Structure 1
Amino acid sequence: MSRPVSADRRLMLAAALGLAGSLGLTGIVAAWLARPPAPASPVVVSALTPRPLVLPAAWLVRPGAAEAAHERIDLAIPWTELTGTVLPGLMRVTATRAPETEAPLSPARRYARFLTAEAQPTAGGLMRRRFRAGTPFEGEDLYLAEGEGSRFAARCTTGRAPEPDAACLSEIRVGSLALRLRFSAERLPAWSAGLAGLERVFGPDP
């Protein structure tokens, strides 16, 4: 005849079984949380351009507002994805509709009265021009591509920038969009690859 199990032993057995179950459930939950998140679906922006823009959700600074955006979208695009090369950091892009006006003056002409006569070639084929002391752009340099910078130009802070990843400002037009770009001065040599990537993303052709 089997001996009766004491109440204390029954309680200990129940506690052990409960602990084992709890640990097993914890392991399942931990494994589920450790799974890489499913990639978010691309976001379609249709109000800014003649053809809808299909953009990775991870690029959008405010994903929820981008689908209904009528005035602008703000993006943070990894240089690696933009250029297809191993370049760290992000390019910050604000896209708006380009104004329907005549072509503006080239950057070299627009800033001519603020610049010194000095011109220095730099990596990537850009020409560096310095702003004169006492002008609104003191403490910045102007970088121009292909002569007067009609294709690409950027103003970059020369000293310590509060945000090094946004030390340079460039404004370009791609198709029907005006793009305002912020990026690190270290990415200046990659301007051509960056511009080609932007034209691929925002250009009028699919």
Structure 2
Amino acid sequence: MTLLASVPRRSREFDKLRRGHLVPLLASALIAAIAMTLVAWVLWPTWTARTFDNNERIPVSIGETLFNIPPHAFRRKVQRHSGPQESIDLNFLYPSLAAPGAPRRVTAETIDETPPPIERMFLSIAAHHDSLAPDARLRTIYPRYLDETRPEPQDGLSIRAFRDRTPYAGEDLFVAEAPALDHDILERDAGGKPPHTFPHPALAARCTRDAATPGMCLSERRIGGADLTFRFPRQWLTKWRDVAGAMEELAQQLHGSHN
């Protein structure tokens, strides 16, 4: 009888002990839940998505050279911030040079068998780290690989094909020389001596040829510690003066008075 009576007593003591441990655990869980609720309420986002003004500019330093970029011109959102960057990728509507808005949604109804025309000029800006300058490459590297045939310039624009089995096979080089400077202007240089640098070409572009996809052109220039690489369709060269003017205008807009 004594053994049997001790079993319920031990069971009751065990239940009391278990309840004694559960109470602090439940209290701790309740306090933690309340604290998490308060933190979530404080940190819950109450802002709306930021919209950028058309005239707003984001200052970006590339190769220690300052550029002021329209926010909507960035092709990659991760690059849309101020401060130093190694490179950025931009695009602009042509010929307006406005920063594009949100891309149009492509649906089954909007897809056509004929690809839509490219209406944008693409621009990459990257630190050059003292690599060979674009104008030096034009004078010293490209001539090594050009075909010896020299067709007559068309509308002031010369075209030379790159030879096969060279690094630029399948491409053509377009160059439109800038007008020669007047002799009197040269004489007004410091010391009365002509400057050691000559005018840059009005346009220099290396272009792929039209095939399954339209040919694209690449034109480079250097500003401070950065190289600017413009890309546009080859067919635009039928109005090459407009293209050259657009690239110059973009460089002036982005680099401003620092140019």
Q: Kindly provide the amino acid, as one letter, of the partner of residue 122 in structure 1.
A: Q
CA RMSD of aligned residues (A): 3.3
Distance 2:255 2:66 in 1: 11
Structure 2 match to 1:197: 249
Query: Which aligned pairs between 1:107-118 and structure 2 lie closer than 5 A?
Result: 107-118=138-149
Distance 1:105 1:202 in 2: 24
Deviation at 1:82?
2.9
Deviation at 1:204?
5.2
| Matched positions, count | 163
Structure 1 match to 2:123: 93
Structure 1 match to 2:223: 174
Alignment counterpart, residue 59 of structure 1, candidates 73, 81, 96: 73
The answer for unaligned runs of 5 or more in structure 2 is 1-49, 99-117, 179-197
Structure 2 match to 1:34: none
Question: Residue by residue, what CA displacement relative to the aligned partner does 1:66-109 show, whole Å, maximum 9, x if unpaired?
Answer: 314510111011122339xxxx7111111012333675625143
Deviation at 1:119?
2.7
Instruction: Say which one has the larger Rg.
Output: 2
Answer yes or no: is the 8 Å Cα contact 1:175–1:202 preserved in 2.
no
Distance 1:203 1:135 in 2: 35
- Does the alignment pair 1:122 with 2:154? yes
Question: Residue by residue, what CA displacement relative to the aligned partner does 1:93-145 show, whole Å, maximum 9, x if unpaired?
Answer: 1101233367562514311121112233134x321111122222221111112
* TM-score, L = length of structure 1: 0.64
Equivalent position SS for 2:169: coil
Answer yes or no: is the 8 Å Cα contact 2:125–2:229 preserved in 1.
yes
- Does the alignment pair 1:46 with 2:60? yes
Query: Which aligned pairs between 1:18-33 and structure 2 lie closer than 5 A?
Result: none
Identity among equivalent positions (%) equals 27
Structure 1 match to 2:236: 187
Structure 2 match to 1:156: 207
Distance 1:106 1:56 in 2: 30
The answer for unaligned runs of 5 or more in structure 1 is 1-37
Answer yes or no: is the 8 Å Cα contact 1:51–1:204 preserved in 2.
no
Structure 2 match to 1:82: 97
Structure 2 match to 1:73: 88
Structure holding more strand per residue: 1
170-179 vs 136-145, which moves further: 170-179
Q: Kindly provide the amino acid, as one letter, of the partner of residue 160 in structure 1.
A: A
